[in-house]
Structure 1
């Protein structure tokens, strides 16, 4: 990207209506920022020129491509007469060229897959993805505690399912140790896991897990890598989208060392459709976002929220955003008017115009800009024409995307999933071993019962000598008595 016609070092954003250049100082870029405006007012183009500007300054960038338009940063631009004239008015010569781009996709369809493990996500973000209530989140925390205690590695959704089944089967024992585990809560979590899987979330969990250094590359030409996450499908699962980006921020916060205020950021992170992170978010999650945004600055990471209205961002987070670019807002309803008022009051006033009126009167490609100066104080808001990009306005074709992926520095590192032994396999082996042991015990018990049972004596037809003698005597006595009776009877008859 061509240098700005200014003595101030920084990223040239455009030219104010007073003819002065507006630039974002690189050594203040880690103080975070916001790009806001209604749909169709030019937010994506602003994000594109900022991403390419940071890349040219040697700063890696991560950004989400919600509509698919941002993929054009990977292709050299073809400026028309209107864009060329706009650049000439700013004293700028367009040099059409592409930014060094790597495409990512949680589903692995329009970019390299991004994976992480269930263990790395943790119970808080997992509960956010599954939309669990407080009781169910507590049960999920118990499950993670059991996994840590028993050495059960949680990599994918199958591991978490098996763990929950194990916790349910051993609810009495586990309940005595860490608290009650209700079967109804286990069932509810299992149903939520099924919903997440049906939304395609299963592809996000597993190995090989993403290594942050593969997103923080700088090429041999000194330009930073622009990581473009395809979010066209991911936006259908807003909780997964928000939790993924928060996880990525948390990983950056935990892994990067402290660097204070560097001359330029180590990474710039653009969070598009930022309101999805904060909609119906529990208090614990909001506190986590505020903590990460507040402290990650010292790790050399700049975070820029892209949203329709700054009012979408909680005040505690908005207060951390020093660099502000506001495109046009419309205020037809009372809530929109309140949002307009809040947006206008967040700028340092310019005596030359009314900020609220100026926001409503901005055209496409125009914005109100206020950035941090050398002292770290916000500059007076200026009405600014945003510069045209050097890369293409509009999406890359499928063939162009495939060519970029074929030349990617991370090609082949993440494309094939790996399934090593983890909780699912360990618990299945335990269950099989327990079944075998039970079967062996049953057979042993049955054998012992047969051995101790007295066999029934069968009646014998054989006679003992005494029985034979007794029967012989009785037969002889019976025969003698019979003969005597017969003789007596016959003798009586003869005498008559």
Structure 2
């Protein structure tokens, strides 16, 4: 079983993390300025070198340097080289790492998008701070869209559905249950507030394909996916909900693998307390369930936070690998956190853990990881190894170069707006207005004899399909969509074959309900 080197214990013993136990999750904790980010950076490098893809959220803007080799000319180089010498790392040399930059706003990396349908009403309700009644109305709107083949892809689609629900509240109430205009109006107001924060950019197509997070380069190193989160942190609920959605997507996408020799992906959840702030108890329980179940998919989740008591006990109990940096005992709450952190470690008779937590220097931590038999190792005071990549952010020019050679280059950068709920409802409203005018002019009986104007989803798909040869490679590929993973795949060409159009139109409602059933089952 492979290992990654974390640092050197007080007695000169190497502290390592078994790759085969990395999917048992972990915790990196400590006060501001004690070295959590450097520890995270060093661990991400080591996972990458072992061929394990990594996801990290760059909440302060300085983790982007992981893509560039360090240098003796950069800040803190003397400290890095001094620590390497202290640890006996004779092979220490600066090196870069394969990295892909992502950004929900599309400014510092590839845009990350999902569809409204894939996010689902439960996570959206939490994102919008809806009460139970409003969440119920949102559930009805999603159900109506599914039943009527209306694709909910972006904010405009959801806004159109809310407007339709308000205008047809009586009809929807008769079919699905009470839909009040007041509740719809409350959702619309929350949606406008949410949109003003720029969160609407997160919804649309092309939607993120999780497989793009799980890639290795030509040297076999795992790509490190760096999410630019400095701007995103201004909307902490969006940040937390996005990462929770991402975990659910990983769970839905990846096959069961049990305990592999090394993880399929390691996921670092920085500022993890945001996931649990103001979260109801039921949601906490389901997050614990997600963390526990995703282990069998070969995904390791490391929570990074200042205070270990920010993580609920039920979730903390799933975190087998721990790196605890210094905590300061300034308040009664701080002292409680120190005692709680000390109690989580396997006892070391030669170490007063509670006292050591307050005495740790920058770049020093208490480390305990899972052994081959699954038991935690005895906690040791450890000097953490230095990273080989740059400490600090890349320049705009360097970022542009990294983006240009990314394996996802050109795939997500241009947004696609295909026919969905907004266009269908607009056409329906236009038809209704024209019909009303014709009834007024010609009479109801005469108008009833005319052919209907709105065509079915199949007829519209067939109409679009005539624009391209049925036998084309693109058409044949699109025709197979129904047999593939059921999700709303992005349309990357201007036209598709008839079969491809039908598959694309049907994939949205079917996939949306499939993924929401998964997330809904986890979230209830």
**Alignment TM-score > 0.5, same fold:** yes
Deviation at 1:202, TM superposition (A): 0.7
Report deviation, 1:446.
10
**1:445 Cα deviation from its structure 2 partner:** 3.8
- Aligned twin of 2:148: 150
CA distance in 2, matches of 1:311, 1:133: 28
2:262 maps to which residue?
264
Distance in 2 (alpha carbons) for counterparts of 1:447 and 1:114: 52
Aligned counterpart, 2:94: 96
Q: Please give the per-residue CA displacement for 1:399-429, whole angstroms capped at 9, x wherever unaligned.
A: 1111111111111000000000001111001
Matched, 1:60 2:53: yes
Moved more, 20-29 or 174-183: 174-183
Deviation per CA, 1:204-237, whole angstroms, max 9, x where unpaired?
0000000111111011101000000000000000
Q: Does 1:21 align with 2:18?
A: no
Moved over 6 A (4+): none
The 8 Å contact of residues 19 and 262 in structure 2, kept in 1 or not, is answered as yes
Residue 84 of structure 2 corresponds to 87
> CA offset at residue 94 of structure 1?
1.4
2:33 aligned partner: 40
Kindly tell me: are residues 446 and 377 of structure 1, through their superposed partners in 2, closer, same or farther at Cα, counting changes over 3 Å?
closer
Residues 342-385 of structure 1: CA deviation (Å, up to 9, x unaligned): 11111111111211111111110001000000101101110001
* CA shift in 2, pair 1:31/1:442, >3 Å: same
2: CA distance, partners of 1:255 / 1:394? 33
Per-residue displacement from partner, 1:418-448 (whole Å, max 9, x unpaired)? 0000011110011101111111101124999
Q: What SS class does the counterpart of residue 103 from structure 1 fall into? A: strand
- Stretches of structure 1 that go unaligned for 5 or more consecutive residues are 1-7, 449-496
Relative to structure 2, which stretch is displaced further, 216-225 or 130-139?
Answer: 130-139
- Aligned-residue offset at 1:336: 1.6
State which structure, 1 or 2, has the greater radius of gyration over its C-alpha atoms: 1
Distance apart, 1:333 and its partner CA: 1.2
Shift of 1:9: 3.4
Shift of 1:83: 2.1
1:12 aligned counterpart, secondary structure: strand
Alignment of 1:248-287 (within 5 A): 248-287=246-285
Aligned to 1:326: 324
CA contact (8 A) 2:2 2:20 kept: no
Q: Specify which of 300, 303, 306 is matched with residue 305 of structure 1.
A: 303
**Is residue 361 of structure 2 the alignment partner of residue 363 of structure 1?**
yes
Instruction: Give 3-state SS (helix, strand or coil) of 2:376's partner.
Output: coil
**Counterparts of 2:121 and 2:340, CA distance in 1:** 35
CA distance in 2: counterparts of 1:162 and 1:247, whole angstroms: 24
| Partner of residue 130, structure 2 | 132
- 2:119 aligned residue: 121
1:172-187 residue pairs with structure 2 within 5 A? 172-187=170-185
Partner in structure 2 of residue 435 of structure 1: 433
- In structure 2, how many angstroms separate the alpha carbons of the residues matched to 1:165 and 1:284? 31
Check whether the contact 2:49–2:221 (CA below 8 A) recurs between aligned residues. Answer: yes
SS of structure 2 residue aligned to 1:39: coil
Cα deviations by residue, 1:311-349 (Å, 9 ceiling, x for unpaired): 111111111100000011112111221111111111111
Match of 1:480 in 2: none
TM-score (norm 2): 0.83
**Cα distance 1:226–1:139, how it changes in 2: closer, same or farther (>3 A)?**
same
Number of corresponding residues: 441
Q: Report SS of the residue matched to 2:239.
A: helix
1:319-398 equivalences under 5 Å are: 319-398=317-396
Distance 1:327 1:126 in 2: 35
